[in-house]
Protein backbone atom coordinates (compact mmCIF):
# COMPACT_ATOMS: atom_id res chain seq x y z
CA UNK A 1 0.00 0.00 0.00
CA UNK A 2 1.51 3.30 -1.10
CA UNK A 3 1.74 6.62 0.71
CA UNK A 4 -0.29 9.22 -1.19
CA UNK A 5 -0.42 12.30 1.07
CA UNK A 6 1.68 13.72 3.91
CA UNK A 7 0.81 16.72 6.09
CA UNK A 8 3.84 18.19 7.90
CA UNK A 9 3.62 20.53 10.88
CA UNK A 10 2.09 23.80 9.76
CA UNK A 11 0.63 22.13 6.70
CA UNK A 12 -2.93 21.66 5.49
CA UNK A 13 -5.40 18.97 4.53
CA UNK A 14 -8.22 19.62 2.06
CA UNK A 15 -10.86 17.06 1.17
CA UNK A 16 -13.49 16.68 -1.53
CA UNK A 17 -16.30 14.49 -0.19
CA UNK A 18 -19.52 12.90 -1.25
CA UNK A 19 -22.50 13.66 0.98
CA UNK A 20 -22.23 11.06 3.75
CA UNK A 21 -25.71 12.06 4.98
CA UNK A 22 -27.19 10.87 1.68
CA UNK A 23 -24.95 8.00 0.59
CA UNK A 24 -24.24 4.87 2.61
CA UNK A 25 -20.78 4.61 1.03
CA UNK A 26 -19.44 8.15 0.56
CA UNK A 27 -15.87 8.44 -0.71
CA UNK A 28 -13.26 11.08 0.12
CA UNK A 29 -10.39 12.54 -1.93
CA UNK A 30 -7.65 14.55 -0.18
CA UNK A 31 -4.68 16.78 -0.87
CA UNK A 32 -2.09 17.65 1.78
CA UNK A 33 0.92 19.91 1.73
CA UNK A 34 3.10 22.51 3.40
CA UNK A 35 2.38 26.15 4.33
CA UNK A 36 -1.21 25.93 5.46
CA UNK A 37 -1.62 29.69 5.82
CA UNK A 38 -0.64 30.38 2.21
CA UNK A 39 -2.84 27.56 0.89
CA UNK A 40 -5.89 28.75 2.83
CA UNK A 41 -5.43 32.38 1.77
CA UNK A 42 -4.36 32.03 -1.86
CA UNK A 43 -5.22 28.58 -3.21
CA UNK A 44 -8.36 27.39 -1.46
CA UNK A 45 -10.62 30.22 -2.73
CA UNK A 46 -9.60 29.45 -6.35
CA UNK A 47 -10.51 25.76 -6.25
CA UNK A 48 -13.97 24.70 -7.53
CA UNK A 49 -16.72 24.07 -4.99
CA UNK A 50 -17.54 20.69 -6.55
CA UNK A 51 -16.07 18.08 -8.88
CA UNK A 52 -17.89 15.22 -10.59
CA UNK A 53 -16.95 12.18 -12.62
CA UNK A 54 -20.22 11.93 -14.56
CA UNK A 55 -22.47 14.32 -16.44
CA UNK A 56 -25.85 15.62 -15.28
CA UNK A 57 -27.32 15.38 -11.81
CA UNK A 58 -25.56 12.61 -9.95
CA UNK A 59 -24.63 11.45 -6.49
CA UNK A 60 -21.09 11.16 -7.89
CA UNK A 61 -20.56 14.84 -7.05
CA UNK A 62 -17.80 15.64 -4.55
CA UNK A 63 -17.97 18.87 -2.52
CA UNK A 64 -15.00 20.91 -1.31
CA UNK A 65 -14.66 20.89 2.46
CA UNK A 66 -13.03 23.41 4.78
CA UNK A 67 -9.21 23.20 4.88
CA UNK A 68 -7.78 21.67 8.05
CA UNK A 69 -4.76 23.40 9.58
CA UNK A 70 -3.41 24.78 12.85
CA UNK A 71 -3.18 21.74 15.17
CA UNK A 72 0.33 20.44 16.07
CA UNK A 73 -0.06 17.12 14.29
CA UNK A 74 1.64 15.55 11.30
CA UNK A 75 -0.09 12.86 9.27
CA UNK A 76 0.58 10.30 6.58
CA UNK A 77 -2.36 8.97 4.57
CA UNK A 78 -2.21 5.85 2.42
CA UNK A 79 -4.35 4.86 -0.52
CA UNK A 80 -7.86 3.73 0.40
CA UNK A 81 -7.57 0.10 1.59
CA UNK A 82 -10.92 -1.13 0.21
CA UNK A 83 -12.75 -1.62 -3.08
CA UNK A 84 -13.50 1.40 -5.27
CA UNK A 85 -16.21 1.79 -7.96
CA UNK A 86 -14.80 1.44 -11.48
CA UNK A 87 -16.21 4.86 -12.42
CA UNK A 88 -14.01 6.63 -9.84
CA UNK A 89 -10.38 7.56 -10.52
CA UNK A 90 -7.74 6.88 -7.88
CA UNK A 91 -6.82 10.58 -8.11
CA UNK A 92 -7.59 13.82 -9.94
CA UNK A 93 -5.71 17.11 -10.32
CA UNK A 94 -6.72 20.77 -10.15
CA UNK A 95 -4.54 23.73 -11.13
CA UNK A 96 -4.25 27.15 -9.53
CA UNK A 97 -1.77 29.72 -10.92
CA UNK A 98 -0.07 27.01 -13.01
CA UNK A 99 0.54 24.81 -9.98
CA UNK A 100 -1.09 21.38 -9.90
CA UNK A 101 -2.76 19.95 -6.79
CA UNK A 102 -3.46 16.22 -6.84
CA UNK A 103 -6.33 14.80 -4.80
CA UNK A 104 -6.08 11.09 -4.02
CA UNK A 105 -8.84 8.69 -3.03
CA UNK A 106 -8.07 8.01 0.62
CA UNK A 107 -11.22 7.05 2.53
CA UNK A 108 -14.86 6.00 2.55
CA UNK A 109 -17.61 6.67 5.07
CA UNK A 110 -19.04 3.38 6.33
CA UNK A 111 -21.43 4.48 9.05
CA UNK A 112 -22.68 7.77 10.50
CA UNK A 113 -25.08 8.31 13.39
CA UNK A 114 -26.23 11.39 15.27
CA UNK A 115 -25.88 10.96 19.03
CA UNK A 116 -26.54 14.07 21.18
CA UNK A 117 -25.77 17.77 21.61
CA UNK A 118 -24.79 18.26 17.97
CA UNK A 119 -22.31 15.34 17.92
CA UNK A 120 -22.21 12.41 15.54
CA UNK A 121 -20.38 9.12 15.65
CA UNK A 122 -19.20 7.07 12.70
CA UNK A 123 -16.79 4.73 10.99
CA UNK A 124 -14.43 5.63 8.15
CA UNK A 125 -12.45 3.16 6.07
CA UNK A 126 -8.90 4.47 5.75
CA UNK A 127 -5.21 3.81 6.46
CA UNK A 128 -3.44 6.63 8.31
CA UNK A 129 -0.58 7.26 10.73
CA UNK A 130 -0.68 10.48 12.77
CA UNK A 131 1.65 12.00 15.35
CA UNK A 132 0.70 14.67 17.87
CA UNK A 133 3.93 16.44 18.78
CA UNK A 134 5.60 16.38 22.20
CA UNK A 135 4.66 19.46 24.20
CA UNK A 136 1.26 19.84 22.54
CA UNK A 137 -1.96 20.07 24.49
CA UNK A 138 -3.58 16.63 24.35
CA UNK A 139 -7.40 16.53 24.35
CA UNK A 140 -9.25 13.32 25.14
CA UNK A 141 -12.89 12.28 25.34
CA UNK A 142 -14.04 9.10 27.09
CA UNK A 143 -17.37 7.46 26.26
CA UNK A 144 -19.73 5.90 28.84
CA UNK A 145 -18.40 2.51 27.66
CA UNK A 146 -14.79 3.53 28.36
CA UNK A 147 -13.63 4.12 24.77
CA UNK A 148 -11.08 6.93 24.45
CA UNK A 149 -10.91 9.45 21.60
CA UNK A 150 -8.17 11.98 20.86
CA UNK A 151 -8.57 15.26 19.00
CA UNK A 152 -7.05 14.86 15.53
CA UNK A 153 -8.48 17.62 13.31
CA UNK A 154 -10.07 21.04 13.71
CA UNK A 155 -11.97 23.43 11.46
CA UNK A 156 -10.03 26.67 10.82
CA UNK A 157 -12.89 28.78 12.21
CA UNK A 158 -13.21 26.82 15.47
CA UNK A 159 -13.82 28.92 18.58
CA UNK A 160 -11.57 27.00 20.99
CA UNK A 161 -7.96 27.38 22.13
CA UNK A 162 -6.83 23.95 20.95
CA UNK A 163 -3.18 24.66 21.79
CA UNK A 164 -3.94 25.22 25.49
CA UNK A 165 -4.39 22.50 28.13
CA UNK A 166 -8.12 22.39 28.99
CA UNK A 167 -8.74 24.66 26.01
CA UNK A 168 -11.89 22.65 25.18
CA UNK A 169 -13.30 22.68 28.71
CA UNK A 170 -16.31 24.79 27.68
CA UNK A 171 -17.42 22.65 24.75
CA UNK A 172 -20.78 20.84 25.04
CA UNK A 173 -20.13 17.11 25.36
CA UNK A 174 -22.15 14.18 24.07
CA UNK A 175 -24.34 12.74 26.82
CA UNK A 176 -22.30 10.62 29.25
CA UNK A 177 -18.88 11.59 27.85
CA UNK A 178 -16.05 13.10 29.90
CA UNK A 179 -13.16 15.37 28.88
CA UNK A 180 -9.58 15.63 30.10
CA UNK A 181 -6.48 17.41 28.83
CA UNK A 182 -2.78 17.49 29.58
CA UNK A 183 0.54 18.40 27.98
CA UNK A 184 2.26 15.59 26.09
CA UNK A 185 5.66 14.59 27.49
CA UNK A 186 6.49 12.62 24.32
CA UNK A 187 5.14 12.24 20.79
CA UNK A 188 1.77 10.49 20.64
CA UNK A 189 1.43 8.20 17.61
CA UNK A 190 -1.85 6.62 16.60
CA UNK A 191 -2.68 4.72 13.45
CA UNK A 192 -5.53 3.06 11.60
CA UNK A 193 -5.07 0.35 8.99
CA UNK A 194 -8.67 -0.40 8.04
CA UNK A 195 -11.43 1.40 9.99
CA UNK A 196 -11.28 4.62 12.02
CA UNK A 197 -13.92 5.20 14.68
CA UNK A 198 -14.62 8.93 14.82
CA UNK A 199 -16.57 11.34 16.98
CA UNK A 200 -17.19 14.91 15.78
CA UNK A 201 -19.23 18.07 15.95
CA UNK A 202 -19.20 21.04 13.57
CA UNK A 203 -15.77 22.25 14.75
CA UNK A 204 -13.75 19.32 16.10
CA UNK A 205 -13.04 15.71 15.13
CA UNK A 206 -11.81 13.00 17.51
CA UNK A 207 -10.57 9.50 16.70
CA UNK A 208 -10.77 6.44 18.91
CA UNK A 209 -7.52 4.89 20.11
CA UNK A 210 -6.17 2.31 20.25
CA UNK A 211 -7.62 1.16 16.93
Task: Compute the average pLDDT of residues 30-40.
Answer: 90
Cα 146 to Cα 194: distance, rounded to the nearest angstrom = 22
Whether residue 69 contacts residue 45, with contact meaning beta carbons closer than 8 Å, is answered with: no
Q: Which among 118, 119, 115, 128 is positioned nearest to 15, based on CA atoms?
A: 128
What is the rounded average pLDDT of the residues 178-205? 94
Across the range 26-36, mean pLDDT stands at 90
pLDDT digits 0-9 by tens, 95-136 = 999 999 999 999 999 888 999 999 999 999 999 999 999 999
* CA torsion through residues 75, 12, 100, 52, sign: positive
What tens digit of pLDDT does each residue of 149-165 get?
999 888 878 889 999 99
Average pLDDT for residues 60-64, to the nearest whole number?
Answer: 88
CB 4 within 8 A of CB 77: yes
Amino acid sequence: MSIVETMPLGGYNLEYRQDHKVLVDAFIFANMGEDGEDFIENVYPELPDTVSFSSGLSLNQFTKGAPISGYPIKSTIFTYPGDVPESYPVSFSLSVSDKKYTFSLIAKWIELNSISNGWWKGQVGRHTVATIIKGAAFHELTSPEGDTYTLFSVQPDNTYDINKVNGLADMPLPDGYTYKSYQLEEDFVFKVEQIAYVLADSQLSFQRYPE
